[in-house]
Each structure stands twice: as structure tokens, then as C-alpha cells.
Amino acid sequence: GDSVTQMEGPVTLSEEAFLTINCTYTATGYPSLFWYVQYPGEGLQLLLKATKADDKGSNKGFEATYRKETTSFHLEKGSVQVSDSAVYFCALSGTGGFKTIFGAGTRLFVKA
């Protein structure tokens, strides 16, 4: 079945460091890809998305490019802030009836 694999956390960085969180997927067809973020005690919220190959999603300094050839959607940010500390989920949708399937999540800690 369809699945999403993310790098294991936690990831600990100093403020202003470069961030990469790896995400790869397995899916039949051509899914849409998403990154969601979850802050403590809250539900997930959409960070960015890409709906077709070579699309780049971006928001709040975060970026991810839909790479069909490597089935990847890695999340990047050039300079992280303490306020970026959260859990990040990679997800896909659009195969098997439009349900959204999530990866295990990667916890990010940013130190001042």
C-alpha cells in the first residue's frame, strides 16, 4: 500500500542553522504531497504542498520540491528559529480514494 517514510528525530539545531528533513514516498499513481506542522498541544496545520512533479511548495521560509524520479519531498529551511520547534509530518493524498496518509513525524528542537 501507499506509505510515507521520514527521517527519524529528534533533530536538534542551533538558531540560524540550515534544516533538512528527508521524506520519501511509495504510491501508485501521482499523489499530491504535503508538509504539516504540529505545535505542542495543537492539531496539525498545513505548512506547504505540491500537486505535481517538479512543483515547489513554499511558506514561511520553508520549501520542498516534488521529485518524481526519486519519490521524495524533502523539507528545507535556510535559517531556523526557536519558534520553528515542532513536529513536522510529510503526507500524501490522491491515491486510493483521496485519504491523506502521514509519515511518522520528525520532532525538531531549535536552541537559542
Interface residue with other proteins among 42, 69, 70, 112 (CB under 8 A) is 42
Residues numbered 16-35 forming contacts with other proteins, rule: CB under 8 A: 31-32, 34
Count, in order, helices (H) and strands (E) of the chain: 0, 12
Residue 104 found at the interface with other proteins (CB under 8 A): yes
d(CA 71, CA 83): 29
d(CA 17, CA 1): 36
Residues near other proteins, by CB under 8 A: 31-32, 34, 36, 41-46, 49, 51, 89, 93-95, 97-105
